Chains A and B, each alone.
Chain A
Amino acid sequence: MPSINLVVLQSSMLALLLCSTINAEESIKVPLEILKTGHIVVSVKVNDKGPYRLLFDTGAPVTIISSKVATDAKVIKPSLGFSLFGTGGQANIQSIELGNLKAQNNSVIVMDHPTIKVMSKFFGPIEGIIGFSTYSRYKLTINYKDSSIQFAPNGYIPQDTIKAMMDRLTASGKSRETLCSKGIWGFEVQKPESDTADGLNIISVAPNSVMAKAGLKKGDRILSLNNIWTDSLEDLFYASSKCIPNEQSKIQILSNNEIKTITVIPANGI
């Protein structure tokens, strides 16, 4: 186990900023292999080598490949003293191919993951894990019933997780996040501690505001905003920080013991 700790530690030391691009525009449906443990396996090519079987794991922050793949596919490693700790560390893969979709510049960790090694004994060779750093670059449709995943490039550029860890580690002081509404709604809520029910009480609605025009009034309860539960002020500010001014938002309210959903278009402003 200590070797893994070292690998992680040393990977964390190396904060690489890699820009990512995906070539193909089309989407592709690839077959899934579902292991008896419920894990998903997909076949991918790495730098035109393979295909290799990798676990598809939405719970994994970073894509991991085995040292075997790293060697076969001549994965380039940064020259920062990896040999000190043996195999492992953050590396860059020129291309990861799913069907005919090619993702370039993939930041991965090279690591012979003990769990994967054990799984390989039972299910045949598995050479790593497809994690967030790779799958986030696609719009995915996972369908266990017909054993397929559809991938379509979405233009998303994932953060460098390892770098993010370092940033958090080195962040000085306590700068906390500020949640600020996008758009002007014209209402205020309150939640006394004694109020443990779902939603928030509306304590005022500004005359002529978009909320007033939508029929909301003092005493109504806001239950959700764009499907996000609004049980706390933090929830409400979070949800409203995700809204787009001048576009429709969906609000669920409790008014006169009746739950209804209304549409409100928040105004531009601050």
Chain B
Amino acid sequence: MIFNRIAWTAFFLALAPFLSFETATQAMPLEIPTRVTKSSHLVVRVKINNKGPFNFIVDTGAPVTFFAAEPGKSLGLKPDENGWCILDKFLIEGGLLSENLRVKLETPFQLVGMNGMALGGLEMHGLIGYDLLAKHKIEIDVAKETMIWTPLDFKPRFPLGVSGKNSGSGLDTLGAFMKAVGTFTGKKQDSPPALRGALGMIINPDSKPLTIIDVQKDSPAYKVNIQRDDLILKFNGSEVTSLDELSKMYRTTPEGKKIHIEIMRKKQIIALELTPGKGL
């Protein structure tokens, strides 16, 4: 609790008089691709000075925007005595550019916790906080995996509680909260996903049995001589009734496993073995 007292003294001393002078150049609504992590955080990707992308949590609970110390260092950024740094270009995926954005170049405790607990599956590099959020009208629909941000003609007041080396807004206690969970789980970040290319069969989704209407040249299906008008009967031993089901079976086939397909061509059943390709 002594810690809190110090933090909150800092809070009151931190009447940070400066106004931020970054500018958002577009005024049109922009679609921002959003990922919901396994830890239930909204994450957007950001390129900073054309480098990245970095993962940022959209956090109305953060007073300013934070960029973690380590990636900051890798971009050659140097914080001033109070930990601030001006980023020339802060480009959010979807095309939202802020120039001369001032950020706190430090790793908020939340992120230490987040990355420690690695429940997000992604490494986090920063938080987008009030100072940047408030300059936009923000539409969030978690069900859609995109946000819509519309720049507003609005200069938010500089928030209290974030001057000095230690942010005194109480964020620190939140971070400790997260970190406790991290210690508990002790999991590493997800390993990179397996990438499964297409087999190259174009299928009429309304046909039954599913009918191949085209085969992409040089695709895995092409290589085993699958042809137009072939009917798909079985996939890895299971009967196939719909394209959705087939897609799911293909997507969930364990890594490294060959694909076995049974097709019917001119009343003849043909069993084929394919290897997933690299193309889409």
Contacts and interface: CB of A to CB of B under 8 A. Distances in A.
B266 interface: no
Interface in A155-208: 155-156, 158-159, 161, 164-165, 168-169, 174, 176-182, 184-188, 204, 206-208
Nearest to A2: B180
Contacts of B160: 36-37
B152 interface: yes
Given A144-B133, A229-B45, A181 B198 contact: yes
B245 to A, nearest CB: 11
A209 interface: yes
B170 interface: yes
A23 B245 CA distance: 32
Interface in A42-64: 55-62
B113 to A, nearest CB: 10
A68 interface: no
Given A56-B60, A61-B41, A156-B142, A207 B217 contact: yes
A16 to B, nearest CB: 15
Given A156-B142, A180-B251, A229-B45, A58 B60 contact: yes
Contact of A154 (B95, B142, B212): B142
Interface in B42-101: 42, 45, 47, 53, 57-64, 93-95
B41 A115 contact: no
A188 B217 CA distance: 12
Interface in B1-58: 1, 4, 7-8, 11, 31-33, 36, 38-42, 45, 47, 53, 57-58
B63 A37 contact: yes
Nearest to A145: B154
A1 B175 CA distance: 12
Interface in A123-158: 129, 131-133, 135-136, 139-145, 154-156, 158
Contacts of A156: 141-143
Interface residues of B, number: 101
Contacts of A82: none
B59 A57 contact: yes
Interface string B212-232: 101011110000000000000
Interface stretch (A70-78, A98-106, A233-241): A233-241
Contacts of B41: 59, 61, 132
Contacts of A231: 53
A270 B198 contact: yes
Contacts of A133: 40
B202 A38 contact: no
Contacts of B31: 227
11 contacts: A12-B181, A61-B41, A113-B177, A136-B142, A140-B138, A174-B191, A180-B247, A182-B247, A206-B279, A240-B280, A270-B199
Interface of A: 1, 4-5, 8-9, 12, 34, 36-40, 55-62, 113-115, 118-119, 122, 129, 131-133, 135-136, 139-145, 154-156, 158-159, 161, 164-165, 168-169, 174, 176-182, 184-188, 204, 206-209, 226-229, 231, 233-234, 236-238, 240, 242, 245-246, 267-270
Given A61-B41, A176-B194, 4 more contacts: A4-B176, A34-B134, A38-B130, A269-B201
